[in-house]
Structure 1
Amino acid sequence: MNGKLKYAEGQKASPVESIRVVERSDRIVKRPLRLLLLLCLVVVFAAGCGTGAPPDTTPNPPAPDPPQVGPKEVIIETEKGSIVIELFSADAPNTVLNFILLAQQGFYDGLTFHRVIPGFMAQGGCPNGDGTGGPGYTIPCEINHNKHVRGAVSMAHAGTNTGGSQFFICFDDSLHLDGVHTVFGQVVSGMDVVDQIEQGDRMLKVTVRDL
């Protein structure tokens, strides 16, 4: 015997032997099916794990440089005369650009100097006329080396990085404001007009021109 079931010619296998043969056949058939099923499960699992997007390894772009604004000056026309202000675009580029854009939109036209303290400063640029208004947004401070001397033009604010549209012109040196407010311009003509400003005086028109 070589281990294989043999039957004599005309001899039938017993029921037990038939069951054994069937069981072996089932095992032979089921084994490839199990392997195929296992392979399918592996493929499905791998596909499911690969549905997530790969991590983004692209580096963030560098922060943009401050906007470049060429030499500009502003003319504030009042009933008492004109005030010419040179803007410090190199020292406070964002503040200057903000002021220029507001002026070009006509934001300042018709607004008043709502707060005037003799010997100190004249403040304007509030659309509400009482110091509570602004353009609807705030800009960061740009503290620089320029001083609050007579004729300096600086941003008013309610705290660090809360400036918007309000500004003031110094009647006299106010160096205690250095490092607190952003000086962004200097009166180069019409300081005699500045000295005459009273509370409620109106800015008829504010225009910007190249130097």
Structure 2
Amino acid sequence: MIRAFIASLALFSCLAFAGPEVKFETNVGNFTVELNTEKAPITTKNFLRYVNDGSYVGSIFHRVIPGFMVQGGGFDKEMNRLNSYPPIKNEASNGLKNLKATIAMARTSDPNSATRQFFINLVNNDFLDHSATQDGYAVFGKVVKGFNVIEDIAKKPTHSLGQMRNVPIQPIVITNVTLLKP
């Protein structure tokens, strides 16, 4: 019983973020994420840089895969790649897991290539976590309000557009981003 209690405390500590909150307004609804500056300081600082400079406004969710995740922040609605700051160090070994409703950084095959694109996990995606054999994808927060909007985004019809797959047919645009709780 004590082991179960300790395990539940450990899980709770991974989920209790209590950091800055950011509200996303989109053309399909709003959602709020809470960031973990303690376990992902580099990633949250990077993310907040894009929030504060306003460059997420007008970007889209360009990759939507039901039962997996929704990805956004890197392209405008004409599918032009948006300018980025330099890549950051991968913090996937921070102990945070790619659980349902968490937000993580997208990257290329280079573990230290994340810039501005993020994704929100629709389900528990433990195969994206850091392990002894893989670098993983850095979780830095979670959706604390409006996860139903994320689930609705995942239901939108998609198509291929050039080399891009799983692109929503009707653009899902981020219309405003507000730092609610610094």
Distance 1:183 1:151 in 2: 10
Distance 1:134 1:117 in 2: 24
In structure 2, relative to structure 1, the CA distance for the partners of 1:170 and 1:134 (3 Å cut) is farther
Runs of 4+ in 1 over 2 A off after TM superposition: 127-134
Partner of 2:125 in structure 1? 174
Partner of 2:106 in structure 1? 156
Distance 2:80 2:102 in 1: 20
Partner of 1:208 in structure 2? 179
Partner of 2:72 in structure 1? 124
Partner of 1:137 in structure 2? 86
Contact 1:134 1:164 in 2 (8 A): no
Distance 2:150 2:126 in 1: 19
Distance 2:62 2:81 in 1: 10
Q: Which one-letter code corresponds to 1:162 in the other structure?
A: S
Q: Which one-letter code corresponds to 1:138 in the other structure?
A: P
SS in structure 2 at match of 1:184: strand
Partner of 2:11 in structure 1? none
Query: How far has the Cα of 1:206 moved from its partner?
Result: 1.2
Query: How far has the Cα of 1:207 moved from its partner?
Result: 1.4
The TM-score normalised by the length of structure 1 is: 0.63
Partner of 1:18 in structure 2? none
In structure 2, relative to structure 1, the CA distance for the partners of 1:91 and 1:131 (3 Å cut) is farther
**What is the number of residues matched between the two proteins?**
142
Distance 2:75 2:84 in 1: 8
Query: How far has the Cα of 1:148 moved from its partner?
Result: 0.8
- Percentage of pairs with the same residue: 35
1:92 aligns with 2:43: no
Partner of 1:44 in structure 2? none
The TM-score normalised by the length of structure 2 is: 0.73
Query: How far has the Cα of 1:128 moved from its partner?
Result: 5.5
Query: How far has the Cα of 1:185 moved from its partner?
Result: 0.6
Aligned-residue CA RMSD (Å): 1.8
* Bigger strand fraction: 2
Query: How far has the Cα of 1:134 moved from its partner?
Result: 4.8
SS in structure 2 at match of 1:125: strand
Relative CO higher for 1 or 2, CA cutoff 8 Å, sep ≥ 6?
2
Larger radius of gyration: 1
Partner of 2:6 in structure 1? none
Contact 2:73 2:117 in 1 (8 A): yes
Partner of 1:112 in structure 2? 60
Query: How far has the Cα of 1:133 moved from its partner?
Result: 5.0
In structure 2, relative to structure 1, the CA distance for the partners of 1:176 and 1:137 (3 Å cut) is same
Distance 2:96 2:35 in 1: 12
Query: How far has the Cα of 1:116 moved from its partner?
Result: 0.5
1:187 aligns with 2:131: no
Distance 1:172 1:131 in 2: 29
SS in structure 1 at match of 2:48: helix
Instruction: Identify unmatched segments of 5+ residues in structure 2.
Output: 1-17, 131-135, 157-167
Contact 2:106 2:114 in 1 (8 A): yes
Partner of 1:146 in structure 2? 96
